[in-house]
């Protein structure tokens, strides 16, 4: 019985390990899609982790300010020497026997031990303004986090698109080298039978070497972009990235310029951060000016007071008292006036900064929308040119086999086809990058949008 139980547990353990290894293997083997890259980049980004830590710090500071509304309680033990004036009679030295008061000081030790509770009733708006200020700073940090996240996600998207573009260009360059290699072999064969000239063979060799250099350059740039992705994802090794084998048909985004601009001015994180920071100025001003305003505290004490240390805690020496403590600043060196002027200037500066940022966002968005429409039109032209170039090359190859076209004709057609393919690839990903940038300016949540699929 015990052996069967042990064998069953060993089998269960072995199956568990095999399943775990299989899941781990499958997880590593699966290439990263764009949605995976966005999720992984946001989760692993040191900047996002720093923003979260800063936000947690501000939450704790807000809680600290809120704690100021509660009473404080502490114990105190002291040994004080108090002086008491007494008044006696003495004669003046003028010869007249007039009496005058002469103050004589007497002192004694006073031992106190008490518990004191203090409740702020009014501190010039320091507590309420301080709490509201911290809450606004917390909200501003959250908006700044959203802005940083938008910038990060846009970097991930554009880097992925650039990598995908370069991967397609590298693939096209490899196909071009393959075709020119075959053509170079055909020319050499024809050269031996006298159907091609020496100059034709030399031209084919040069074209092949140029194509190989182009392929090497495309592959080098692809690896550089893959390294950029690795850095953005904070990985130790370059990731395995999935690239679509075919360029999907892109549909133009119908965006009304006025509506898009209005949406950007309302939702752009950079503008929202500046508006929240401007709102902080009034509360910062209230906190700063509270030092020049009256404050009122309710204080209560209960303990023991005696002049004899041996009877410190005797039952006949306890005391209790409650008081209102009012402090009224009489003169602060005109600092209040300068503070108000300073905060008025800060508010004016913040307002102008918001206006300038709105103008920049609007101008950038209008440029992106114009470019978006133009890039879509170029994409349709490039797609049509690619189709026609492929058809022309196929016809040219057929005519060359029948002796109706020269080697130069075939080379020209291949060059045209290759250039048309590169134009299509570049235009396709330029459109996607432009569209993502326009979305970011409009305040669209890029992480949510690009991780749905």
Q: What confidence score (pLDDT) does residue 237 get? A: 92
Q: Which CATH number fits domain 34-72+122-295+332-450: 1.20.1600.10, 3.40.30.10, 3.40.50.720, 1.10.443.10?
A: 1.20.1600.10
DSSP per residue over 132-198, as a string? Answer: HHHHHHHHHHHHHHHHHHHHHHHHHHHHHHHHHHHHHHHHHHHHHHHHHHHHHHHHHHHHHTTSS-H
Domain ranges of the chain: 34-72+122-295+332-450
Rounded Cα gap, residues 226 and 369, in angstroms: 29
Q: What confidence score (pLDDT) does residue 250 get? A: 61
pTM of the entire structure?
A: 0.75
- For 411, what's the count of Cα atoms within 13 Å in the CB-facing half-sphere? 19
One pLDDT digit (tens) per residue for the chain, 453 residues: 333 333 334 333 333 333 333 333 334 458 999 999 999 999 999 999 998 998 888 888 888 877 877 788 888 887 776 665 655 544 544 444 444 444 445 566 777 888 888 888 887 777 788 888 888 888 888 999 999 999 999 999 999 999 999 999 999 999 999 988 988 888 888 888 887 788 888 888 898 999 999 999 999 999 999 999 999 999 999 999 999 887 776 655 667 888 999 999 999 999 999 999 998 898 888 888 888 788 888 898 888 887 776 666 666 667 788 888 888 887 777 778 888 889 999 999 999 999 999 999 999 999 999 998 898 899 999 999 999 999 998 898 888 778 788 777 888 888 999 999 999 999 999 999 999 999 999 999 999 999 985
Q: What confidence score (pLDDT) does residue 82 get? A: 64
DSSP per residue over 26-69, as a string? Answer: HHHHSPB-HHHHHHHHHHH-HHHHHHHHHHHHHHHHHHHHHGGG
Record the tokens describing residue 247, joined without a space.
């360029």
């Amino acid at each position: 019985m015990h052996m069967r139980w042990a064998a069953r547990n060993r089998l269960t353990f072995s199956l568990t390990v095999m399943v775990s290894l299989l899941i781990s293997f499958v997880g590593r083997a699966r290439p990263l899609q764009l949605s995976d890259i966005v999720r992984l980049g946001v989760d692993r980004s040191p900047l996002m982790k720093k923003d979260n830590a800063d936000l947690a710090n501000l939450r704790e500071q807000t809680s600290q300010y809120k704690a100021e509304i509660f009473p404080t309680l502490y114990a105190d033990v002291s040994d004080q020497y108090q002086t008491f004036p007494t008044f006696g009679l003495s004669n003046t030295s003028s010869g007249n026997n007039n009496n005058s008061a002469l103050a004589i000081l007497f002192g004694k030790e006073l031992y106190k031990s008490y518990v004191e509770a203090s409740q702020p009733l009014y501190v010039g708006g320091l507590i309420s303004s301080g709490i509201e200020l911290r809450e606004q700073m917390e909200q501003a940090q959250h908006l700044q986090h959203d802005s940083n996240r938008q910038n990060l996600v846009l970097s991930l998207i554009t880097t992925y698109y650039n990598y995908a573009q370069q991967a397609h260009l590298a693939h096209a360059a490899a196909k071009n080298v393959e075709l020119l290699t075959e053509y170079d072999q055909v020319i050499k064969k024809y050269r031996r039978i006298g159907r091609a000239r020496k100059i034709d063979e030399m031209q084919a060799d040069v074209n092949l070497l140029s194509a190989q250099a182009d392929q090497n350059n495309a592959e080098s740039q692809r690896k550089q972009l893959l390294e950029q992705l690795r850095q953005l994802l904070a990985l130790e090794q370059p990731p395995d990235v999935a690239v679509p084998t075919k360029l999907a048909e892109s549909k133009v985004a119908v965006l009304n310029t006025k509506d898009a601009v209005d949406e950007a001015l309302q939702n752009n994180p950079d503008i929202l951060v500046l508006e929240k920071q401007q709102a902080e100025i009034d509360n910062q001003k209230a906190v700063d000016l509270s030092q020049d305003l009256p404050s009122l505290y309710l204080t209560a004490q209960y303990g023991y007071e005696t002049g004899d240390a041996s009877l410190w805690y005797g039952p006949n020496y306890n005391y209790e008292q409650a008081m209102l403590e009012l402090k009224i600043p009489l003169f602060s060196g005109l600092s209040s006036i300068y503070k108000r002027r300073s905060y008025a200037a800060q508010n004016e500066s913040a307002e102008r900064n918001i206006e300038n940022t709105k103008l920049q966002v609007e101008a950038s968005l209008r440029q992106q929308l114009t470019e978006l429409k133009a890039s879509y039109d170029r994409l349709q032209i490039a797609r049509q040119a690619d189709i026609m170039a492929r058809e022309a090359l196929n016809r040219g190859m057929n005519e060359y086999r029948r002796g109706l076209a020269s080697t130069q004709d075939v080379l020209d057609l291949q060059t045209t086809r290759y250039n048309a393919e590169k134009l299509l690839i570049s235009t396709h990903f330029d459109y996607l990058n432009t569209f993502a940038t326009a979305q970011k300016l409009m305040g669209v949540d890029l992480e949510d949008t690009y991780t749905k699929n």
